Amino acid sequence: MKKFVNDPSAVVREALAGVAAAHSDLRVDIEQQIVVRADAPRSGKVGVLSGGGSGHEPLHGGFVGLGMLDAACPGEVFTSPVPDQILAATQAVDGGAGVVHIVKNYTGDVMNFQMAAELAADEGIEVRSVLVDDDVAVEDSTWTAGRRGTGATLIVEKVTGALAEAGAAADAVAAAGSRVNEQSASFAVALTACTTPAAGKPGFDLPDDEMEIGVGIHGEPGRRREKLRPAREIAAMTVEAILGAKPLAAGSEAIVLVNGLGGTPLIELYLLYGEVAALLGKAGLRVARNLVGNYVTSLDMAGMSVTVCRADAEILRLWDAPVRTPALRWGV
Amino acid sequence: MDVALARSWIAAIAAAVAEQADYLTQLDSAIGDADHGVNLNRGFTAVAAALSSAAEPAAVGDVFVKTGTTLVSKVGGAAGPLYGTAFRAIGKALPAGSSTVDAAELGVALRAGLAAVQKLGAAVPGDKTIVDAYGPAVAAFEKAAEEGLAVAARAAAEAAAEGMRATIEMVARKGRASYLGPRSVGHQDPGATSTWLVFQALADVTR
C-alpha cells in the first residue's frame, strides 16, 4: 500500500509538526503530542478536552479552537493516548473551573482517561467524563465492550464546547454532552479495509463485490458481510438500523451527519445524504441541521457512517454557536 | 529470584516481543486493530531503556514497578494499562526492599498482578483475553512453587500456552474483538499470546 510517509513510527509526530506549521493559532506540543488552544487556560472557563487514537482526522485535533475543544491529545494510530499525555493536556486547559473529558467508548481509551482523571484529581483538578457510545452496530452490549464512540463525538464536542464557551459550569457541560450522546445513534458501512502505516497492508480482505456492515473506525471488521447493493438500499438499511435502535418521535428535529471514513469521495457522500434525508423525512423527522464530509475517519477506508442526533432547541442553539477550528468554522 | 534475574526476565520479554511483534500484529489484525505487536514492542523497548539507564534497583519489586510505570506511560491502548498495572501490582506485592524473593513470594505477586488486571479490565475467564493465559499460568506456578522457581516457571509457561490455544474457540466478550461477536471464533487472542511470551520468557531465564 502506497502512503506519504517517511518513517511509519514517526507518522503522528510528523503530522503534528504539519498541524503546527499550518495553524499558528494553536499550540502544538509535538513531544507530548497535545494540541491546545492558544488562549488556554482561560480563568473561570471549563476546559473541554478530548483525545483518542490518531487516524480519525480531523477528529480530534481539527476541532480545537474557539467554541469547541480546548485541547486534544492524539495517541499513536488507532491507539489511545497515555495517562501522562492526557494529564498534561488537562493541566494545560484547567482554568480553575474544572475540565471535561470527552471519551469514546473503547477499552483502551476508557482505561487511560480514567487513570489520567485520577492523576488530575491528585493535582487538585476536578475532571468529569462524558462517555460517547453511539454506534448501534454493536447490538449486544452485555457481551461486548459496549457500543463504540463514533460520529456523535463531533456533535458532543461541538455542543459541550459551545456551552463551556458561554460560561456554563462543568456539571452542566458534562450533562449536555451526555444528553447529546443519549439522543444520538450512528451506523457505518465499509467498502474497503484501511491500512495503518505500521502494518502496511489492509486490516482485512474484502472482495471487490462485497461490503462490510456495521464497521467501527479502527479497521476492525464489522458484524457481517454482504454483497454490494445500490446506495439507496444501503442508505435504507443504515437508517433502519439507526431508527430501530433509537426510535425518534415523529415531528422531532435532528442534526444529521453523513460522514466519510476517509476514502470515499464527497460526490458519493452527497448522493448518500440525499437518500438519507429523504428516508428520515418519510419517517417524520425534520433534518434541522446537517453536515456532509470527512469528519470522523478511519485512515483510508472507503465507507461512510450516518449519525442522527435528536436535537431540541438548546442543542440546536449550541450547534449554531460560533466555532473557529481547523475543520469546523462558522458564525465568526 | 534476585534483581539481576528480574532484569533478565524483563529483557527476555522485550526480546521476545520484538521478535514476535509482526506475529502479534497479524493476530490482532484478524480480530482487532492490528497494533498489538507494534504497541508492546514500543513499550518494552522503552522499558529496556528505562531499566538500563536507571541505577540498579535495590529490590526485585522495584524492577517490576519501574517496568509497569513505563508501560503505562508509553504504550497506550488497552495493553499499556493492563500490562503496566499487572507489573506494578506484581512489584508492589513483593516484600518491600527485598533483593531476593523465593518462588512462593513470586507466586503471591503474580496472583496480585492477575487480580489487578481483572479489576481494571473486568474480564473473566473465557472472555478471550490476557486473563485466559494469565489465570492458568498463575495457578500452575502456585501449584509447582514448592519445587522451585525453574519448575514453577516452566509449569506456568506450559499452562499459559494451553490457555492461549484455548482462546481460539472462544467468543470475544471484552476489548475490540468483542465487536465481532461469533466472528471472533477461530482466531487466537493476541493478548493471551503476548501473555504466553511473558511466561515463556520467565521459563527461559530461570532454566
Task: Provide the β-strand partners of residue B111.
Answer: none
Strand order across the beta sheet in which A127-132 lies? A26-29, A34-37, A71-77, A47-54, A99-104, A127-132
- How do the domains of chain A map onto residue ranges? 8-183+319-330, 184-312
Residue A199 is nearest to which of B29, B120, B121, comparing CB atoms?
A: B29
Query: What pLDDT does A141 receive?
Result: 57
Closest CA to A50 of A70, A30, A33, A77: A70
Radius of gyration of chain B (CA): 16
Q: Give the CATH number, domain containing residue B133.
A: 1.25.40.340
Strand order across the beta sheet in which A286-293 lies? A224-227, A210-213, A184-190, A303-310, A253-260, A286-293
Query: What pLDDT does B57 receive?
Result: 87
Total count of domains within chain B: 1
> Structural domain of residue B60, as residue ranges?
3-206
Cell matching residue B167:
482462546
Q: Are B64 and B33 in contact (CB under 8 A)?
A: no
Class of A8-183+319-330 per CATH? alpha beta
**Catalytic (active site) residue A101:** no
Q: Do B42 and A9 touch (CB under 8 A)?
A: yes
Query: What pLDDT does A142 receive?
Result: 60
Per-residue model confidence as pLDDT tens for chain A (332 residues): 899 999 998 999 999 999 999 999 999 999 999 999 999 999 999 999 999 999 999 999 999 999 999 999 999 999 999 999 999 999 999 999 999 999 999 999 999 999 999 999 999 999 999 999 999 988 765 667 889 999 999 999 999 999 999 999 999 999 999 999 999 999 999 999 999 898 888 877 889 999 999 988 987 777 789 999 999 999 999 999 999 998 877 789 999 999 999 999 999 999 999 999 999 999 999 999 999 999 999 999 999 999 999 999 999 999 999 999 999 999 98
Q: What's the gap in Å between the CA of B75 and the closest CA on chain A?
A: 7
- Kind plus residue range of the DSSP H or E element containing A211: strand A210-213
Give the dihedral of Cα atoms A6, A9, A15, A21; nearest 10 deg: -80
Burial of B125 (0-12, 13-18, 19+ CB in 10 A): middle
Task: Provide the β-strand partners of residue A71.
Answer: A36, A49
A111 and chain B: CB distance < 8 Å anywhere?
A: yes
Question: What are the CA-CA distances from residue A227 to residues A68, A190, A191, A224, B68 (Å)?
Answer: 40, 12, 10, 10, 46
* Superfamily of A184-312 according to CATH: Dihydroxyacetone kinase; domain 2 (3.30.1180.20)
Q: Are A147 and A188 in contact (CB under 8 A)?
A: no
* DSSP letter, residue A9: G
- Kind plus residue range of the DSSP H or E element containing B26: helix B3-31
Considering A23, A60, A101, A218, which one is annotated as catalytic?
A218
**Catalytic (active site) residue A218:** yes
